[in-house]
Structures are given as structure tokens and as C-alpha cells.
Chains A and B, each alone.
Chain A
């Protein structure tokens, strides 16, 4: 599994709850590592062990941690590049949702070897979207919920997001766009030079 995924978990816990809590997570997970590098590969089995240890140390469900990671990736200063790369998906939040089918492909284009679940988006009615995530890493749907919630804020769009659990081997997310221009759009310029740490 790609080091970026582990590094993101490490950065999220260290930045949000302090490095001492990350150390507790690593100790509790009983893995033969103390930290992760973004540009190395690690055993995929480490991830569920770390996540379960994190849930214990931080005293909250794994799904909440995953969702917060999604939000953290978009809103934290250290990962400004993630927000920008997401904004390439479309001019509006709805366009972004329509572009999510491309997300795994775009991600692979950005970082080869970083494989995300297959994403399928349907729009059964105007302003109503259903997103299906199939494949590993499990729980990615929760990360996507947090990530999209933060992106909706970024576009100034009022949207309701809900993780509906598993259906036919896929994580299901329902999105309702209530008001596209609810608040100010934070804006996105192609020309903006954003040199940020690569997560």
C-alpha cells in the first residue's frame, strides 16, 4: 500500500491530536515501524491495524476518523495542493461530483502506484447524487464523505452528505445539493502558484 496513505494518517493524527498520540497509536498497533514515508510502499495489512489502534487511542469510531481525514486533507494548510487538484475537477460542486468517476485515474496520473477504489456517480434527480465506491482500501467512502463535505464548503455550496453503508459490495454515499451558491466560493485560479508539501 502506498506510503502516502500511511503518511496522511500519521500527519492527520500528529497535526490534530499531537505527535504523542501518534506514538501511542503506533505502539498500540504493535507494528515494526515508528513512522511512514510518503514515497515508499508498505504492507497493506498495516492500515487496518493502525486504524483500529487510532480508534482506541482517540476514543472514536473508525468511520469518524476516516471522515475527518478527508476534511483535513482539504482544509489543512500543509495539503493545499490536494484542494487545488480537486478543484481541477470542475467549476462547480456538481461538476466536481460528475468528475469523481475520473478520481482514481487522476490520482494514478498524479502518483503512480496510488490506487483508489473505483468510483461511480449517478444523478437520479437534479441536485441528488449517489456515489458508489468499489474496492480497496475499505472505508475510503468515509474519507470521500469528509473530503466532499469540505469541497462543498470550498465552492460555497450547501450540500448534505451521508454514508449509507455497504450495498452490493460497494460503499454508498448520497449527496443532496441544496443550494449551489449558498456562501462565498473560496475561488480557484489556475495561475495561483501553490507550492505545498505533497501530503
Chain B
């Protein structure tokens, strides 16, 4: 029958056999890889620090841990934790059968361990295999997720953008109004309709009409600030939301500048094009309620008032204009708000 020390040597690459005096009598072959000098003959407690379940200070304490799972570390390699079973050898010494536990992945990297450093019956190779396989599968999964996320962001942006002008569309406006409604920011809303756009579209064709709309978008971009939201709400209707801008003089200048530049005569595809614009303005402070939808309605009312008083004008909403479109003596166009 094989002797106990030979049996340990053959089967357990990470065992420690401690004699009755507390000195190491034998260690498994894998300790040589861990960057520690052969501990044979040294005091066990000087080479290893037992951390759990109790810290023994002498050999008798160590024997007291027999039958228990202990956690310990190598003093010269403080980052290296080991755990295992401690048993008595029945000659007043103890035997510890150790393993790396979950730290095995790090230990393999750090000490360049190979399959021979582990007992063949140990599942450590399966664990390492699984770890590598999992990393590869996760990498593939992450790459799929990031591609899907990119596609989602692109689709979201597209869903909120007007394809022709690159301005926001009505869905983008609704989202922005919702966010404004939840904040304390004061803001102004400008509703703008182009004048004589329908004639341009009908007589000069959609190509010219599209070019006009793109040019109007350019004018809007040139006159507004980075934070302003520019919306093509449909057809020839535009909305500008100006967070933090409620000053009447500045809004006057903005609306006046927009109307002036949009009304500049131009030549598109060899055709003379003359359009104009009317603007209604409502400021959140003057709105009866803070609800952005109400402010939009007030800007709408002001726009109709501006159109009624002659085109190419801008007007601020005022209480005498009324609170709802149906109070005006104008028919409510069905296209609005579509």
C-alpha cells in the first residue's frame, strides 16, 4: 500500500503537511509555482496566515481547527488566498488540502499555472474553459447589443426628424414640450406659417417647393440659438421653441429677422420665388397656465391674428385675442395639429 506522504504527493498538488512542532514537513508540487521558497522545515504559521474561521497563534490552535474549512493566505504573496480542509494526521500533526477557489482564474494568469498544476480529477480545467468561453460569448453578445443600440438610436433620431429639412418633426416637438412642462424653465413659442407657399408649390412644382422649405430651415438655423428647438410641424408650418427666452424686445428682433430673411426674393431653378411668413408668439409667463400645450395654442391664436391683420407680420398673444381657436371668427383649419 502506498504511504500517506506519497499518496498526498501523487494526488494533491496543493497540500501542506505540518508536523507536531508546527513545522512544514511536506508540500504539494504546485507551491513551487507560487513564487515562494520551499517552505519545508519552516514554521507553518510564519509562511501562512490562517484568517478564518479563527486565527491560530500556535500549533495547538491549528490542531483545534481540525475537520474545518479554513481560509488562509501566503504571507509572501498577500494577494493569494487559499482555502481547504484541515485534518489531523493522528501523530499530532495536521494536513491541509488546499485549492484556489474562485481565485483560480487570477492565479492561473499570475503564476502561469498549467494543467499539471492541478489534480486531474479537479474541475478547474472545466472552470477555466467555461470562463474563456463565457468571455467570448459575452464579447459577441456585447457587440450585438451595441450594434442594435446604434440602430435603435438612428431609428429614434429618424422618427423625431423631418426628412426633408432635418428639423424636428411634430413627434420631436411633443417630446420637447413634455420635458418643458416638467421643468421650471420659462420659454417662448413661435408659430410660423409661410405666406404664398401653396401658390409656389402649385405653380412651380414640388421640387421648387422643397427647395424653399430647405432654405427656410436654413434661415431658422441662422437666426436661432443652439438650445432652441426648430420644428417643421407639417406642410409649411414651423414651430420654434426658445427655452429661457422671454424678453419681448429680443423676440421681436427674432421674429422680425425671420420674416425679413424669408421674404427675400429668390431664384430657384431659374424661377422667381417670392414667399413671406407670419408669426404668432406666446410666452410661457403670460400663459394662463404653464401647460406647454396651452402656450402652443396661444401662439397659434396670435398667428391667426397676425395673418388677419395682413401678412408678413408677427404678433404676441394677448388676453383680448381669446383663449381658444374656436373663439376666433376664423374657421379652424383641419390640417392644424395633424
Cross-chain contact A190 with B114 (CB below 8 angstroms): yes
With both beta carbons as reference points, the residue of chain B lying nearest to A114 in the complex is identified as B137
Give 1 or 0 for each of A15-59: 1 = CB within 8 Å of chain B CB. Answer: 000000000000000000000011110000000000000000000
**CB neighbors of B among A145-199 (8 A):** 189-191, 193-199
Given the known interface contacts A39-B144, A191-B112, the answer about A196 and B129 at a Cβ–Cβ threshold of 8 Å is no
Q: Is the interface of A mostly helix, strand, loop or mixed?
A: loop
Give the tally of cross-chain contacts (CB within 8 A).
72
Q: Does chain B have a CB within 8 A of A110?
A: yes
Instruction: Quote the shortest CB–CB distance from A61 to chain B (angstroms).
Output: 30
Contact A191 B136 (CB under 8 A): no
The residue of chain A having its C-beta at the shortest distance from the C-beta of B129 within the complex is A88
> Is B137 within 8 A of A198, CB to CB?
yes
Q: Which of B110, B125, B129 has the most CB of A within 10 A?
A: B129
Q: Is the CB–CB distance between B137 and A110 below 8 Å?
A: yes
Q: Is the CB of A190 within 8 A of B128?
A: yes
Name the prevailing secondary structure of the B interface residues. helix
Q: Count of chain B residues with Cβ under 8 Å from any Cβ of A?
A: 26
In whole Å, how far is A87's beta carbon from the nearest beta carbon of chain B? 10
- The chain B residue sitting closest to A91, CB to CB, is B115
Residue among B111, B135, B140 having the largest count of chain A Cβ atoms under 10 Å = B140
Residues of chain B contacted by A91 (CB below 8 angstroms): 115
Chain A residues, Cβ within 8 Å of B138? 198
A199 and B140 contact, CB distance less than 8 A: yes
- Least CB distance from A33 to B in Å reads 15
Does B139 sit at the interface, judged by CB under 8 A?
yes
Contact between B132 and A189 (Cβ–Cβ < 8 Å)? no
Tell me which residues across on chain B come within 8 A of A40, comparing CB atoms. Answer: 144
Q: A-B pairs with the 6 shortest C-beta distances?
A: A110-B133, A198-B140, A198-B136, A81-B136, A88-B129, A38-B140
